[in-house]
């Protein structure tokens, strides 16, 4: 059962890293579930402080992920349409990977720009707001990725520490 929990936990942590880029998956919380599964094994001693602190970090990242893009859009004069455009652009980049890895960067920007144009902004204002929305999106994504990678490091370190007992 311990091996099963470790494997499922590892899959959760990896899914959390992928979720850092995909808006439909909450990256940090899924990675945290992987840590929880690891600590539920009989081999790894329970560390409720570690789980509690990482849970708080995970929740804070989810909240920040909603606040940062909005703040970036507002800071650069954007609207809700710019935020919606950013999200649509990200979904387009995932569903239609036309430009490969560059698409995940380019399409949200294009989406925010088009969203601002739909909001009847002139092209200069739309470009500025699109940049703010895009910058907020990148900041949120980077934050989620850092936390998910930190959770992976914690997971691997614990598994490595108890590898002789686990395997």
Confidence check: pLDDT of 73 > 80? no
pLDDT digits (tens, 9 = 90+) for 89-117: 878 887 887 777 677 778 888 888 998 89
Q: Say if CB 27 and CB 144 are below 8 A apart.
A: yes
Confidence check: pLDDT of 54 > 90? yes
Q: How confident is the model at residue 58 (pLDDT cuts 50, 70, 90)?
A: very high
Q: Which residues contact 125 (CB under 8 A, 6 or more apart)?
A: 77, 116
Q: What is the pLDDT of residue 40?
A: 94
Q: Structure pTM?
A: 0.80
**How far, in Å, CA of 143 to CA of 139, rounded?**
6
Burial class (CB in 10 A: 0-12, 13-18, 19+), 93: buried
3-state SS assignment for residue 99: coil
Whose structure tokens read 């909603």?
66
Confidence check: pLDDT of 59 > 80? yes
Q: What is the pLDDT of residue 125?
A: 83
**How far, in Å, CA of 130 to CA of 80, rounded?**
11
């Amino acid at each position: 059962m311990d091996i099963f929990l470790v494997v499922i936990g590892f899959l959760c942590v990896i899914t959390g890293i992928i979720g850092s880029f995909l808006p439909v998956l909450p990256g940090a919380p899924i990675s945290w579930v992987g840590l929880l599964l690891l600590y539920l094994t009989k081999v790894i001693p329970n560390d409720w402080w570690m789980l509690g602190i990482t849970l708080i970090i995970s929740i804070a990242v989810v909240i920040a992920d909603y606040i940062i893009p909005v703040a970036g859009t507002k800071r650069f004069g954007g609207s809700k349409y710019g935020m919606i455009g950013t999200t649509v652009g990200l979904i387009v980049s995932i569903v239609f990977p036309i430009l490969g890895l560059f698409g995940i960067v380019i399409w949200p920007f294009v989406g925010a720009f088009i969203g601002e144009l739909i909001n009847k902004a002139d092209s200069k204002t739309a470009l500025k707001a699109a940049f703010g929305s895009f910058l907020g999106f990148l900041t949120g994504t980077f934050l989620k990725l850092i936390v998910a990678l930190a959770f992976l490091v914690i997971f691997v370190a614990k598994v490595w520490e108890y590898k002789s007992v686990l395997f």
